[in-house]
Amino acid sequence: MSEIKKLNLIEASLEEIENIVVNKLDCKKYVASQIFDFIHNKLEFDFDNFTNIKKDIRLKLPEYFEIPSIKCIKILESKDKETKKFLFSLNHKFLVETVLLMHDNRKTLCVSSQVGCALACDFCATGTMKFEKNLTAAEIVMQLYFVQKELRKTNEKVSNLVYMGMGEPFLNYDNVIKSINILNYEKGQNISKRNFTISTSGLAPQIEKLAEDEKQVHLAISLHAATDEVRNIIMPINKRYPLERLKESLIKYQELTKNRVSFEYILIKDFNIDGSAASSLVAFLKSFNAHVNLIPYNIVEGKPYETPSKKEATEFYNTLKRSKINVTLRETKGEDIAAACGQLKIKKEKEDIESNKENI
């Protein structure tokens, strides 16, 4: 006898749930709304706790529905309490990281969209891992649901989401957009689309597609260098979409959405922070309504790159300011908990290898 394909309750629409509730469970439509509310509002993922649904019906739910779960196996908090990092295990097989940033009374969750990353940016810890899989929309959503449930204990909540964790979100475009739509449900988390930012290494065709599909969603570009010569060294994707092509897509994006574009620029000592790097950046940004975040490099073990001094970072910042660029110099956050994307996963995998060796 073939098994019934269960409906994934994180990704299912209310209508899909209603269809099963009415036609298979022989219940009234409102039971579907109760199930939907347990999942997307009460953030309850155990059928046994769906307490206002009659017990005989509740016992039948697992026959038709499934709730993909992710297990949090580690939570680390930085000394300044502004950064919290969560390590999740998917199907007991894959590890992904999620970072909660708490500053300016705002809680922003940085979610992962892939396990590993194929783009191999040279400064990035995730770039050293092989690409393993795209996260499903449910796996992306569950990162937020877990953290939101934690924050509820102190009457707090995540207000903004950035797709800036592990992976290139535009290489998992459909699931990323689907996750945004789920989190935007009016009867669910109801997070405004304006509070989502997708961060990309610069995939020009998908930038143009986003501008067509989702005009409210914000865009951030991991730029890190404003000449092809330097960018090619640290970001291989630049050979496929050089700066001129990236610029063309961003101009189209701004024409269609009128959104300001954020640029992330990691400051690397003796690499991308001299006067000529600053001039190239100013020239590149001239075409846009832009804001630049300067982020001093967070050391990644095994990489040759170093963090610049505060003085060097400030000089670079001042040059941009003098050229009337909207710019913010960020502090390196959560160094003590390995906050740069991918570092915690690598640390955990190394610990597991070491403990396996000890157990042999």
> Which residues are known binding-site members for [4Fe-4S] cluster?
117, 121, 124
97 is catalytic: yes
How far apart, in Å, are the Cα atoms of 298 and each of 86, 194, 266, 340? 18, 28, 9, 6
CB of 233 vs ligand SF4, minimal distance in Å: 13
Q: Is 346 in the site for ligand SF4 (CB under 6 A)?
A: no
Per the CB < 8 A criterion, the answer to whether 53 and 31 are in contact is yes
Q: Is 121 in the site for ligand SF4 (CB under 6 A)?
A: yes
Question: Considering only 124-132, 186-194, 213-221, 319-327, which stretch makes contact with ligand SF4 by CB under 6 A?
Answer: 124-132
Q: Which of 54, 56, 35, 32 is nearest to 46 (CA)?
A: 35
Q: How many residues in the chain?
A: 360
- DSSP letter (8 states) at residue 176: H
341 is catalytic: yes
Q: Is 166 in the site for ligand SF4 (CB under 6 A)?
A: yes
Partners of 196 in the beta sheet? 161
CB of 352 vs ligand SF4, minimal distance in Å: 22
* Residue from 44, 97, 139, 214 carrying the catalytic annotation: 97
Q: Is 99 in the site for ligand SF4 (CB under 6 A)?
A: no
**Amino acid symbol at 49:** N
Q: Which of 62, 172, 56 is nearest to 117 (CA)?
A: 172
Tokens of 276: 């000529």
Give the x-and-dash track for 188-217 against ligand SF4 (CB under 6 A). -------------x----------------
Q: Which of 101, 91, 104, 133 is nearest to 116 (CA)?
A: 133
Tell me whether residue 38 or residue 263 sits nearer to ligand SF4 (CB atom): 263
Q: In angstroms, how far is the first alpha carbon of the chain from the final one?
A: 43
Q: Is 167 in the site for ligand SF4 (CB under 6 A)?
A: yes
Tell me whether residue 119 or residue 217 sits nearer to ligand SF4 (CB atom): 119
Q: Is 339 in the site for ligand SF4 (CB under 6 A)?
A: no
Residues at the interface with ligand SF4 (CB under 6 A): 117, 119-121, 124, 126-127, 166-168, 201, 222, 341
